[in-house]
Amino acid sequence: MHEVRNRLTTTIPQQTPYRTSENQKMENIKNFSSLPRENLSYGMTEKRICLYETIAGEKLYMQYPGLESSRAGNRNFPLDARPVLIKADGSYAQDMDFKKIWDIIDLIGQNHRADIDILATIFLRIAYMIDYMHTENGYICETLDIPSGTIVNTQTVRFVWNYLRLDSDVIETLNDRFESFEGISLEGFLYYNDLLAQNEDCKYHYLQGNHWNITTGRINNCLSHLTVISHIRGKIGISKLIDSFQRTGVAPLPQSRFNEACGDLVIRQ
């Protein structure tokens, strides 16, 4: 794991580290928000685009529209989408909200506490889109009839975005080290979190409009995972952990405390 630790060691600016990937973030928001949605309806006719495939044979889709597109009033988010993970055997992984993700992080921490700082560092890299790769490629896009559970159309679409790049030898080592949980590889879990974070970016950019704060969305959510990991590593007690989440449901770990979750794998300079 020494080699993996060296390669994942991450240097970020002391001030406003989120500014370094601002253009990538805005490009992703624009292009995901522009996915065609004509004649689609949550729970009836939906589309999904396959954006990641893992070493284990899992496929990660962004499926849309999501539940929040059908809500009334100021809670309506017509651009809502959700990640979907299909395992190598064709079965669907359970949808993961943030509570489920924290349960999985806690499980990983119980079994691999000494290496949970690696997971924290990857979450930080997802938060700030560090070393994301820009690509324009063809992706399989399927139209789904939800009531019948059938695929009614399949086509290849061109899509431009910035994606989470994980070196194959690094992810193989991490998959072996952390093993799988509920039939999901660590790689699949990370890609799922990236797509979930992307939807959060689109959501808050849409809902807040001209008043959008760039730290809302993926940054606040992924850095909240670091707060959970800080507790797992024994840096904060359970009462402080609970208190952190009580007000707004998110509790991003402050930059000055990144070492509580990431140890010496993140360098601020």
Q: What is the pLDDT of residue 186?
A: 96
The band of 189, judged by pLDDT with boundaries at 50, 70 and 90, is: very high
**Which amino acid is residue 233, in one-letter code?**
R
Write down the mean pLDDT value for the chain.
94
Q: How far apart are CA 249 and CA 171, in angstroms?
A: 30
Q: What is the pLDDT of residue 214?
A: 86
Structure pTM?
A: 0.96
Q: Give the residue-averaged pLDDT of 240-265.
A: 92
Q: What is the pLDDT of residue 209?
A: 84
For 127-193, give the DSSP string. HTTTT-EEEEEEEEEEEEETTTTEEEEEEEEEEEEEE----HHHHHHHHHHH--BTTB-HHHHHHHH
Sign of the C-alpha dihedral computed for residues 43, 44, 47 and 52 taken in this order: positive
**Would you call 83 helix, strand, or coil by DSSP?**
strand
Q: Does 75 score more than 80 pLDDT?
A: no
Q: How far apart are CA 57 and CA 87, in angstroms?
A: 7
Tokens 């904060």 correspond to: 236
Q: How far apart are CA 154 and CA 144, in angstroms?
A: 9
Q: What is the pLDDT of residue 1?
A: 83
Tens of pLDDT along 193-229?
Answer: 999 999 999 999 998 888 888 888 999 999 999 999 9
Contacts of 139 (CB under 8 A, 6+ apart): 49, 50, 51, 156, 157, 158, 159
If one counts every other C-beta atom within 10 angstroms of the C-beta of residue 90, the result is 8
Q: Give the residue-averaged pLDDT of 62-77.
A: 88
Q: What is the pLDDT of residue 103?
A: 94
Q: What is the pLDDT of residue 212?
A: 85
**Would you call 47 helix, strand, or coil by DSSP?**
strand
Q: What is the pLDDT of residue 112?
A: 94
